[in-house]
Structure 1
Amino acid sequence: MERNDTCDAEDELNNDVSSSSKAGPSTSSKPSQENKKRTRTIDILREEIKSIKEGLDVVAATLDRGNFQNYFEDQLYQEIEKVSGMSVISQMGAYQNLTEDVGIARAFLDCLARHRRLWLSVKYV
C-alpha cells in the first residue's frame, strides 16, 4: 500500500471513529455497516504495521551481525593464507582481486580447500 493509500485509510478510520462516537451506541445487535468498514480499515492498518515491523526486524538482525563486509574480508584473507605454496605477494594479489568482486570471492570460498591454489592459478594466470 502506498503512502497516499495509508493516509486515506487513516482519514477513513478517523472519520469512522468520529461519526460513530457522535451517533452514540447502536441499538441493534447486528453490527452496522460503519462498524464493518471500520473493522476492515483497522485490519488493513494492522497488516501494514505488521509488514513494516517485519522489515525493521530484518534490518535489526543484519545490524546485530555487525559489519558483514569486514567479516567477509577477514574470512577471505584467512582462507587465502591457508593456500599452500603461495608467496605473500601472491596472497595479497589474490586478496585484492577477490575483494573487488563478491561473487568471485564466494566462488573461491565455496571451492574445496585443497583445490583453491589451482582455482586461483586458473582464474588469475
Structure 2
Amino acid sequence: IVLPGGVEGATCLGDSALVVEMLKQQQCDQKWVAAICAAPALVLEKNGLFPDAYKSCHPAFIEQIPEAKRNTRRVMNDKDHKLITSQGPGSALEFAVEIVLTLAGKEKAAEVVAPMTVIPNLNYDKKFAVL
C-alpha cells in the first residue's frame, strides 16, 4: 500500500476506518507500506501504526513523529518494519525508485531509471551498480 501525501488527502485517509484496517492487515501480514509527505504523520502516527518504525515526513509534520523514531532523510526505508517514508513532492522520484528497488530489486530499478532524465547527484548509477 502506498499512501500519497497532501494535507487534505492524508487527513481523509487517516480518518478512513477501511484504510486504517487495510494498513493494520498489511502490517500484520508483514507486507510493505509506503507513505509520503503528510501521510506518515496524518495517517500512520495518528492511528498508532508502525509505532516502532523509523519515519520521515514533510518537515511541517515532523514534530508529530516521536523524536526517537523521527528521521530527516529524504527517503527512509525501515526494512525491519517494512515501511518506506519520504518527505514530500521534492523527494517523490527518490521515493518511487526506492519502492521499485525494494519490491523488485536493483535490476528492475535500473531498468526503470535508465530512460529517465534524473538529477545527476541522485547517484542512481552507484546505488544500482548495474547501470
Q: Which has the higher strand share?
A: 2
Q: TM bucket by the smaller chain?
A: under 0.3
Question: Which structure: larger Rg?
Answer: 1
TM-score where L is the length of structure 1 = 0.19
Greater percentage in helix: 1
Q: Which has the higher contact order (CA 8 A, sep 6+)?
A: 2
